[in-house]
Structure 1
């Protein structure tokens, strides 16, 4: 009888799998982009303030949400997440001008490098590549460049230095 009850308990587990997972987004990989979390003032290379950005972890750290407000009235939001199935970071960016950017990539040594699929415009084909770098002083540099089909840099879309708000 004891064997039957044990078999019954093992077969019909009253605790769903999801309840057994204490924190599905708590792996070290899920925290690789934590250096970007914070309330930021963003400056260009000349030191002019170009906007503010609130970056926060949501949904028990399963999503990193970005809320950009540019000094010229531009705005945008992104959701970044780690996909453990293919071991990549992914970001969906949407701006108030209707631009949509989908990026995928990986983190390594204090950097996050995300790249788009090949894009096509009237000027030709290109990739968007955005790199966030954690700097020794706690700031973060975001460098968005354009690459040709062979991976050669053909332009710069954005470069910002993120400094924590006081």
Structure 2
């Protein structure tokens, strides 16, 4: 028997008798990595206003948003697509070392903002300093709360503080409602 044939026979015998390799567990399998999963989906986004059911169709759609869980469950990515104005997106992830969630927002305006926080009181709360959010040189601390609603929608309530968190006022208030059809590709 040739050396090549002997090597091939040995390789085949070794392969057939070896136990199949068990895939390693996902590095992001801990429950904390799923705390923000309620936001994953394709959404129509509306201003959150008290609406008389007879006039519900008059609330204007302001954006579409695609929220995806990626990278073996280690990250959640948002693609914000407003009907008017510039879009943007965020990358969100849980850091087990700090036991905190982090969000990096990148948009056409005003650019880049870093938020951090966690899941508390039944909602995800993220806070960050947003430079120029109220105009040039007018920075504010922004606190965003994401809350799953009983009907499956998600409320994103943004508050701002211009006094380092002593007082807060509403900056934006959105309702994410599940889309009936996928968001068309652009």
How does the TM-score come out when normalised to structure 2? Answer: 0.72
Report the counterpart of residue 58 of structure 1 in structure 2. Answer: 70
Cα distance, 1:45 vs structure 2: 2.5
Contact 1:67–1:76 (8 Å) recurs in 2: yes
1:71 counterpart = 2:100 = no
Q: 1:102 aligns with which of 91, 106, 114?
A: 114
Q: Which has the higher strand share?
A: 1
Q: How many residues align?
A: 146
Match of 1:164 in 2: 178
8 Å CA contact 2:123, 2:146 repeated in 1? yes
Provide the C-alpha distance between the structure 1 equivalents of 2:130 and 2:111, rounded to a whole number of angstroms: 16
Shift of 1:117: 4.3
Tell me, in whole angstroms, the C-alpha distance in 1 between the residues paired with 2:165 and 2:89: 30
- Aligned pair partner of 2:166 in 135, 151, 165: 151
Bigger-Rg structure (1/2)? 2
Unpaired runs of 5+ in structure 2?
1-21, 50-58, 181-186
Q: Secondary structure at the match of 1:35?
A: helix
Q: What value does the CA root-mean-square deviation take over the aligned residues? A: 2.1
Q: Mark the runs of 5 or more structure 1 residues left unpaired by the alignment.
A: 1-18
For 2:156, the equivalent position in structure 1 comes to: 142
Secondary structure (helix, strand or coil) at the match of 2:116 reads strand
Q: Does 1:49 align with 2:52?
A: no
